[in-house]
Amino acid sequence: MKKLIILGGSGIGMIAASIANELGYYNVIGFLNDIEKEGSFIGNYNKIPVIGKTSDIQRFVDEDVCFFIGYVGMKNEEEVYRKITNLNIPANAFATLIHPRAIIPKGFCEIGNGVLIAANAQLSPDTKISDNCIVLGNAIIGHNSVMERFAHVAASGHIGANVVLGKGVHIGSNATLREKIKIGDFSLVGSGSVVLNDVPENTIVVGNPARILKTKD
């Protein structure tokens, strides 16, 4: 059984821990967390220890240890993206966590390293999910769509066919994206939004139909 260290904490980190537990071949030994104190615990029911900060990662690197990045940047996606890429974790050291109830057409998709796909999420044929992407429960990724590195689709997000989600993009829960559009790097689509057109990079869009709320600094 491989040891698993999760970078993050409550929220995505605990979802990752629960899927790892469900799979049965990872032993979650703790979180690296930059806010909570080392020695504290995260989780209301299954309490998992904080064993250090992100900067401590090199002391845990070992052939028997895998890592999962449970960070979601939200409004500072680009900063978090730089943070994770600067860790220089080898691709084969990332744990990919796919819930047994995720719907994936075998042999018809490309899934990278360090990916999380939650229960009842669904990939269509010819989708590409790049390294460190997250697809939460009941989300649907349409055929021939691409999620670039560290893109996230929250619960019940619906991504149409032939859509490109750029690096570090965050799609909020229950958002819907029309087919054949591109969401630029590090942009954020608000929960429940309906996106009908391309979104420039570093932009926040909200509403139905989605309109630009602001451009991030």
Residues taking part in catalysis: 158
Residue given tokens 């630029």 in the structure block? 184
Radius of gyration of the chain (CA): 17
Which among 39, 34, 46 has a CA at the least distance from the CA of 9?
A: 34
Residue with tokens 């689509």: 189
What are the b/e assignments for 18-48, b being 16+ CB within 10 Å? bbbeeeeebebebbbbeeeeeeeebeeeeeb
